Structure 1
Amino acid sequence: MEYLKQIGQLNPPYLLWSALGLFVIIFIRYLIFSGVYHHFFHNWFGDRFRHRFLSISKLKRKQIRKEVYRSAISAAIFTVLGMGMIVLWQRGHTAIYTSFDAYPVWYSVLSVLLVLIIQDTFYYWLHRWMHLPGVYRWVHKAHHMSLQTSAFTSFSFHPLESLLQAIVIPLLVLWLPLHIGVILALLMFMTLSATISHGGVEIYAPNWARHWLAKWLIGAAHHDDHHKKFNYNYGLYFTFWDTWMGTETPDFKERFEELTRKEEAV
């Protein structure tokens, strides 16, 4: 497309308007996901899901305002990285491709899993680094100020943490072939996953923690333990690293079953 070529050529008006449009898309997507998710469970169907709430306290508007403010800054950082990725793509410096014929269909599926595993591994160790005393205060404390998480917490980070979290895909596309559709799907999944894990409501089924595959996926109760107990559950999408490194909440599975079993009496 000629429009994308103009961005690659660093045409100022195209860069400016594209960056503004991308920021609006990222930030509005966050607001829509977070707002709909929060109101669905807490307002529209609150009575039905109340037994699955991870906190009985009502979320304060002051906290939501701070989270939205920080999320706007995060969206701006994501925009800068996104624009940089587009510029590099148009200049031929990435492995992004647009035709599904370039690689077998199975590779598209494999590339999604590969990116998620790489990103999860990177984040686990980044997360543990951010909890070091000398780092935590300056980088990660802003996110942990949301002791009671909500869907609005999903993008609420210190600017440096936002940068470090978002850098993975821009770096991967420099050498890992990814279809543009795969990248867009990954970005949507990342938003949905962050919303679910911070949503403050456990949406997964009672047998989730026992299922051979599902037990490796992180939900709200798992990440809520991290915000409340601090030194456990560092994973992003999967529980692999927490299990292998012994950093999963010792009684998580029992707590999860107790939480979800309550619905049998509802």
Structure 2
Amino acid sequence: MIATKTKKAPTEGAPVFFIMLRNMLIGLVSTVATTLMGAAAKGDWLIMLVYLRGKDGPDKALPSFLAPSGNGTAEHTVFDQFLESHGMKHLHLFILMGIAGSFIIYYPVGGFWHWYYYVRQRDQAEEWKCQPNKFLSKENEAHAVMLGSFNMVLGGTLSGTIACYIVNGGYSMLYFNLWDYGIVYTVLSTMFVFLLNEWTVYWSHRIMHMPVLYKKIHKWHHRYIQPTAFTASAMHPCEFLLNQCIMAAPMFIFPLHVGSYVGVLLWTYYYGMRDHSGIISESPWPWQQDVMFHDDHHLYFHVNFGMNTKFIDMMYGTVRRKDREYSEDIFYGFGREKAENKAQ
């Protein structure tokens, strides 16, 4: 059958256009909110903020309601003089902003997503949930919130300290002027730091799945077999701090444009939050795995270690295979042959 064109009324296409526009706006708001939530969970939103507005020193980096007045007595206390003499002016204010900001961003956004899916659409879980027949227990939900909150305090403290150090003139390799190293170097270094981050995260994650480290440390995170957005930061504090150091390391090692560094952080935190949501979502990017990839990591334990791509798992043979058996006591990422396959 051949379709023929028909003359449309002037307003016939309008509803479709407005529906598309509405969906685009919803998608944009959702992406921004999820990214902010991911950055807040780790506290690194503050490091990004000071690089965007902190070139002129600690007073400019702080919002006006936090920055002490130059004529105020706060600038002349012994405590402030001590911090300034050690190149950490306003350290306590940066830490306060890091912790408070994380909580202010994280829980309203996370609470909305939790209500929208896990409460409002709980009866339709088969339409949106990776594991539609299984939900976290109330005990594990509360545990994730408490452990994640503790780690956000750690993250806000660490990020506040790093941010304060940087805007007080501390050493880093980030640069602001694109022409300092040129466009080609900026593009290549951005790709390099993205791949380096993925490779480092893969191996640090896989090492955490070695029997001793898994049982002592990483199992804290794997008690959440059905992950949600609130479980993204719920892990052993030592592992949380290790992840923070991995993400912060590039800006002290080699020249990297601030936009590149912030961009990689935003990308990583957006997909890290998305991958822990438990909500079915396919990635539009060929290198970025779908949410089900990491959800399977929680369901099958020792497999699918990558965070931003599955290529490294494919390279080392640690992608989950349907012909293999996986469980919490089968380590090293390769599973084992299923019993029915052995019998054949």
TM-score w.r.t. the length of structure 2 is 0.63
Quick check: 1:177 aligned with 2:255? Answer: yes
Seen in structure 2, the aligned counterparts of structure 1 residues 240 and 53 have a Cα distance that, compared at 3 Å, is same
Alignment partner of 2:152 out of 75, 81, 90:
75
Q: Is the 8 A contact 2:89 2:164 kept in 1?
A: no
Q: Which residue of 1 aligns with 2:305?
A: 234
Seen in structure 2, the aligned counterparts of structure 1 residues 36 and 224 have a Cα distance that, compared at 3 Å, is same
Q: Which has the higher contact order (CA 8 A, sep 6+)?
A: 1
Quick check: 1:62 aligned with 2:176? Answer: no
| Partner AA of 1:236 in structure 2 | M
C-alpha displacement of 1:84: 4.0
Report the number of matched residues. Answer: 245
Structure with greater helix percent: 1
Which entry has the higher C-alpha Rg, 1 or 2?
A: 2
Quick check: 1:16 aligned with 2:71? Answer: no
In structure 2, distance between residues paired with 1:64 and 1:15: 33
Q: Which residue of 1 aligns with 2:281?
A: 203
Q: Is the 8 A contact 1:147 1:228 kept in 2?
A: yes
C-alpha displacement of 1:12: 6.7
Unpaired runs of at least 5, structure 1: 253-266
Q: Which residue of 1 aligns with 2:32?
A: none
Q: Which residue of 2 aligns with 1:34?
A: 110
Between the aligned residues of both structures, percent identity stands at 25
C-alpha displacement of 1:88: 4.5
SS in 2 for 1:173: helix
In structure 2, distance between residues paired with 1:100 and 1:36: 38
Q: Is the 8 A contact 2:217 2:236 kept in 1?
A: yes
* CA deviation profile, 1:107-153 (whole Å, cap 9, x unmatched): 44443332221111111111111111111122101100101111111
Please, what is the CA RMSD of the aligned residues?
A: 2.9
| Partner AA of 1:78 in structure 2 | G
C-alpha displacement of 1:243: 0.3
Alignment of 1:140-179 (within 5 A): 140-179=218-257
Q: Which residue of 2 aligns with 1:98?
A: 176
Seen in structure 2, the aligned counterparts of structure 1 residues 98 and 33 have a Cα distance that, compared at 3 Å, is farther
In structure 1, distance between residues paired with 2:124 and 2:186: 38
SS in 2 for 1:163: helix
Unpaired runs of at least 5, structure 2: 1-55, 61-79, 324-344
TM-score w.r.t. the length of structure 1 is 0.79
SS in 2 for 1:201: coil
